[in-house]
Every structure is written in C-alpha cells, then in structure tokens.
Structure 1
Amino acid sequence: MNPWFFLLAAIACEVLGTSLMKLANVEAPLLGHLAMYVLITLAYYFLARAMERIPLGIAYALWEAVGLVLIALVGVVVFSESLSPWQALGLFLLLGGIGLLNGDTANQAEARS
C-alpha cells in the first residue's frame, strides 16, 4: 500500500486523538480517553508503516507539522480558541520549513537516480 496513505492516516488519527483529549476532560471522560488512546495508538502504527518507505526525518516532520497546524485549526474552529498573529506566523513558517525539507529531499532523490 502507498506509504503516503499511511502518513495521512497517521496525521488524521493524531489530530482526532489529540482533539478528543480536550473533549475527554469535559464531555465524556471514560469514552473520550478510551477513544483518544486508540487513535493515538493507531497514529503511531500508521506512522511506523509510512516510515517503511518514507525517510524518517520527512515522515516525522510532516506528521508533527501538519498535525500541529490541523490541531491549531481544530482549536480555533471547534473550541473557539484564538491564535495571535505571532502564533499564526509561526504555523505558516513551520509549513514553509516542511515544504523546503520535502523539496530538498526530492532533489536529492533525483540526484541519486
């Protein structure tokens, strides 16, 4: 199966699991924590599967960065949290760094071929 699918599944599970962490403390502690643990476990499983074909640094960086941005957006949209301009700039720079990291990795792969 495509390793990028596994990476996207890992990111989705991380975002859902982390978002449930906040809900678990307010709405349904037992069910929320159980779902959170299952999703975080799945996130690590899918990340490990993605790393079978995607370089460690790339997979982990994408997992963390995209997950962080999406979790911040969930905080804003679902939990009515706010982002300061500095926080928004930090998230933007984070995504830019990931883009540079991925672009350089693609260039290195082409150079080896």
Structure 2
Amino acid sequence: MLNTYALLLIAVMFETFGSACLQASQQFTRFWPSVGVAIGFGFGLWFFVQVLKVMPLGITYALWSGVGIVLITLSGLILFNQRLDLPATLGIGLIIAGIVVINLFSNTTTH
C-alpha cells in the first residue's frame, strides 16, 4: 500500500508541475513551459492510472485533487507570488482535514 501512495504522490507532483507550467506558458505562447504542460499532465495521468489498479476511483481522485490543491497553492505562492486570504487558507485546511479523515478512518482506500 505504501508503494501505491508513493505512485499517487508522484502523479500529483507531475500534475503540479504541469499546472505550474500552464501558468508559466502564458496561454501556450511560450514553448518550453507548454512542453512542460504536456509532460507533466501526461506522466501525471499515467501514474494516476497505475494507482487506480489498487485504489477505487473516488478515493484516488479525492486524494489526487486534495494534495494537488495544496501543492499547486504552494507553487503559486513560491513561483508566482500568489497570496491567499484567510478564507482561502481555511478552505485548504478543510481539504487537508478531509484527506486525513479518509486515510485514518475509511476502509475504502483499497479494492
């Protein structure tokens, strides 16, 4: 199961990379960031599919999107100086709480 979570984390990291490149591509007007979008999303989806062999879709997608939101928010802050207000920060905190609840209390994290 640890390998499954590692694959999911790799998938999310590629998706985060692709999303950051999407911002940097300036609507696909810059070549190398546009290539990064394709690479990031392509590999992210490939690793996502590998996780689906072990975990159900709903749980996988919840973890993928929750962790992805947190990582892309941090990327936006670090790379693009995008700051969040208090309600946005609290909302992301609730997403993190949801991820913790799923992983600690749910029996549906595996097929």
* TM-score normalised to structure 1 length: 0.85
Corresponding residue number in structure 1 for 2:74: 73
Measured after TM superposition, the shift of residue 55 of structure 1 is 2.2
Q: Which amino acid in 1 is paired with 2:92?
A: L
C-alpha separation in 1, matches of 2:15 and 2:24: 14
Structure with greater Cα Rg: 1
RMSD of aligned Cα (Å): 2.0
Segments of 5+ residues of structure 1 without an aligned counterpart are none
C-alpha separation in 2, matches of 1:78 and 1:33: 16
Instruction: Answer whether contact 1:6 1:49 (CA < 8 A) is retained.
Output: yes
Equivalent residue of 1:2, what SS? helix
Which segment drifts farther, 10-19 or 47-56?
A: 47-56
Q: Which amino acid in 1 is paired with 2:68?
A: G
Corresponding residue number in structure 2 for 1:11: 12
C-alpha separation in 1, matches of 2:36 and 2:77: 22
C-alpha separation in 2, matches of 1:54 and 1:5: 13
Instruction: Answer whether contact 2:62 2:99 (CA < 8 A) is retained.
Output: yes
Corresponding residue number in structure 2 for 1:22: 23
1:71-108 Cα offsets, whole Å, 9 max, x none, are 011111211111000000000001101111222224x6
Corresponding residue number in structure 2 for 1:91: 92
* TM-score normalised to structure 2 length: 0.87
Corresponding residue number in structure 1 for 2:3: 2
Instruction: Answer whether contact 2:17 2:36 (CA < 8 A) is retained.
Output: no
Task: Give yes or no for the alignment of 1:51 onto 2:59.
Answer: no
Structure 1 segments (4+ residues) deviating >4 Å: none
C-alpha separation in 1, matches of 2:33 and 2:7: 24
Segments of 5+ residues of structure 2 without an aligned counterpart are none
C-alpha separation in 1, matches of 2:57 and 2:106: 12
